[in-house]
């Protein structure tokens, strides 16, 4: 069995650390890194299992320029909707990889805590239950994995919770209180579920790790980039000032 991680940022490095607990796992990125088992992209593409952390806004161009399908099984570990087209990641990846070969990772997962081997639980989502189970089995004991066939529910949750997290950060930055924050997050979850229903997503997904779990994490901690964006906006900073 050969496994490769594409992307050596915080999240890619955290996943490489986690997956390497019981076996050697390769990793690559655009720029060379001093990381164990760092190899070229060409070498990674020969792996049977690929974990891809390329950001949502870059993935379409990256796939077009770099990806060669060799019957690999793909775990997409990034979240978001392509801003220019409104496409979900499963729509983008399906142009290059058959749906039965793709899974999507969701759930509460700060990279910093994964790197410390702190416990969490994640969901591997795929229309192919066998592929989901194969990826789920790769994770170490400190990450409890579940599987689901609701890819759309997981995708919507992963993207929508970021908007609510920014609003929660604004709420905190304006010192509106814990009551307001709880109301905002809980009603945001209802909106997520209603939005998902329009796309045929399952209600249970939004009440589980992919929805409520990831939302609570992202909308309640300064470790969350989107929460920090909200805090900055509440202070009158521009988005550029916050992110630099």
Q: Which domains does the chain have, with CATH numbers?
A: 3-149 (3.40.50.720), 152-243 (1.10.1040.10)
**pLDDT value, residue 20:** 97
Q: pLDDT tens-digit profile of 191-210?
A: 999 999 999 999 999 999 99
Task: Determine if residue 197 is left, alpha or beta; phi over 0 gives left, psi from -120 to 50 gives alpha, anything else beta.
Answer: alpha
Model confidence, pTM: 0.94
**Of 73, 79, 161, 202, which residue is the catalytic one?**
161
- pLDDT 10s digits, 107-141: 999 999 999 999 999 999 999 999 999 999 999 99
Using DSSP, state whether 126 is helix, strand or coil: coil
What would the pLDDT profile of 150-190 be if each residue is shown by its tens digit? 999 999 999 999 999 999 999 999 999 999 999 999 999 99
Sheet-wide strand order for 73-76: 26-28, 3-6, 49-52, 73-76, 102-106, 120-125, 143-148
Does residue 235 have an active-site annotation?
no
- Has residue 92 got a pLDDT over 90? yes
């Amino acid at each position: 069995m050969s496994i490769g991680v594409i992307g050596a940022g915080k999240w890619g490095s955290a996943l490489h650390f986690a997956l390497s607990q019981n076996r050697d796992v390769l990793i690559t990125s655009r720029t060379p890194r001093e990381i164990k088992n760092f190899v070229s992209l060409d070498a990674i593409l020969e792996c049977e299992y690929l974990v891809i952390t390329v950001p949502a806004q870059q993935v379409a161009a990256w796939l077009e320029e770099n990806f060669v399908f060799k019957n690999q099984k793909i775990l997409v570990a990034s979240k978001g909707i392509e801003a220019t087209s409104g496409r979900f990641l499963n729509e983008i990846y399906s142009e290059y990889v058959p749906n039965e070969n793709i899974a999507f990772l969701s759930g509460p997962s700060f990279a910093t805590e994964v790197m410390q081997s702190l416990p969490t639980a994640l969901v591997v989502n795929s229309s192919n239950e066998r592929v989901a189970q194969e990826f789920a089995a790769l994770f170490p004991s400190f990450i409890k994995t579940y599987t689901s066939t609701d890819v759309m529910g997981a995708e919507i949750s992963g993207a929508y919770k970021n908007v609510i997290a920014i609003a929660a950060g604004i709420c905190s930055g304006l010192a509106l209180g814990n009551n307001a924050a709880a109301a905002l997050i809980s009603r945001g979850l209802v909106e997520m579920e209603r939005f998902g229903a329009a796309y045929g997503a399952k209600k249970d997904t939004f009440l589980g790790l992919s929805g409520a779990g990831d939302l609570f994490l992202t909308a309640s901690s300064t470790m969350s980039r989107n929460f920090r964006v909200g805090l900055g906006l509440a202070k009158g900073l521009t988005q550029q000032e916050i992110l630099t």
